[in-house]
Amino acid sequence: MKIDGKAWRTIWLEPDGRSIGVIDQIQLPHRFTTRTLRSCDEAAEAIRTMVVRGAPLIGVTGAYGLMLALQVDPSDAALAAAFEQLNATRPTAVNLRWALERVRDRVAPLPPEQRAEAAKAEAAAIADEDVAMCEAIGDHGLAIFQQLVAARPAERQQEPLRVLTHCNAGWLATVDWGTALAPIYKAHRAGMNIHVWADETRPRNQGASLTAYELGREGVPHTVIVDNAGGHLMQHGQVDAVIVGTDRTTRRGDVCNKIGTYLKALAAHDNNVPFYVALPASTIDWSIDDGVAEIPIEARDAREVTHIQGRVAGELAVVQLTPDGSEGFNPAFDVTPARLVTALITERGVAPASEDGLRNLYA
């Protein structure tokens, strides 16, 4: 995607060939800055503190984190230690373990002196594949949006397609394009009249900050709404479709996404609004059947609930929202059962949210 006319990915190999550059998402939307990661410790910290976030992107960051570790010590012990350190940073998104296992399995059979370069090549391949998968998701999602518009009565053909999103599943959550936002970007670039309702997505406000930032840079018409407004808009016929991403999808089609997604799915179901989930293959966990019972839900720092970051007099500041002594509880994700999902949009096509649907795409 482009920022001020320059094309950016969210992660890249620096010119020295030994360190990694990333966009510092903690500073957005008020500052666009980058960081250089020079060690496995720095990569792990960037994932843990959400300098980088979004399931596909943390997977790629983890892959490069193994490269950084192996540049210092290519031994079996160092490889195992770096794997565990990086894997422990975010427990819910399956992409992280998937990418780490892919790099580990690629380098483990090699002589130690070849491992760092092999890890670099594998991490770069994962990044490139993510871009291609996300663009393909965009193409398949665009076809759905076109079908929704075509099904309208003639007098409504020129009205905007109103799409509601939750959290940030765009370019900033992946290497490029995004998952849930990729169809929106494709639609906008194809000339479709589209408008996005962007949930603020408390507690970290990824919708109000990151999604709105992306949409604004791309020129997509959008409006930020509070998390509790979505159901009201659906009741009054102001939402044509909901599209979200997912951090882990079970083999039967349950999806785990940012906290609050389940409530949007319930409201959509009650108001006959189609509810789509966009995901690459790396987000499918074939080992899990029941998402509610089996997916580990990350509990983050309660301070994310009790405090909020914003811009005050031109400077970033953190302010307290709650009374002194009030505790906070901060589950980062919830699980939406497959029965509430209209369809899954993948890089291989669109599937029903079911085991048969997914296996028809991924034999």
Q: Which two tokens stand for residue 269?
A: 């179901």
Q: How far apart are CA 254 and CA 295, in angstroms?
A: 10
Q: Return phi, psi of residue 121, to 5°.
A: -65, -40
Please report which helix (H) or strand (E) contains residue 137, including its range: helix 112-150
CA distances from 321 to 205, 233, 318, 325 (A): 14, 27, 10, 12
Cβ–Cβ under 8 Å, residues 130 and 280: yes
**Can you say whether the dihedral through the CA atoms of 167, 173, 176, 178 is positive or negative?**
negative
Phi, psi of 153 (to 5 degrees): -60, 155
C-alpha angle with apex 63: 59 to 67, nearest 5 degrees? 160
Q: Is 84 left (phi over 0), alpha (psi -120 to 50) or beta?
A: alpha
The DSSP 8-state label assigned to residue 207 in this structure reads I
Residue 229, both tokens = 């407004």
Instruction: Spell out the residues 6+ positions from residue 56 whose beta carbon is closer than 8 angstroms to its own.
Output: 95, 130, 134, 173, 174, 175, 179, 280, 282, 283
Task: Classify residue 167 by its DSSP letter.
Answer: S
User: CA-to-CA distance for 347 and 8, rounded, in angstroms?
Assistant: 22
130, 247, 285, 334: which one is catalytic?
247
Six token digits for residue 203: 């507690």
**Exposure string for 67-76, b = 16+ CB within 10 A, e = fewer:** bbbbbebbee
Angle, alpha carbons 272-264-174 (nearest 5°): 115
| 334 carries an active-site annotation | no
Q: Are 308 and 205 in contact (CB under 8 A)?
A: yes
- Would you tell me how many other CB atoms lie within 10 Å of the CB of residue 124? 16
Residues serving a catalytic function are 247
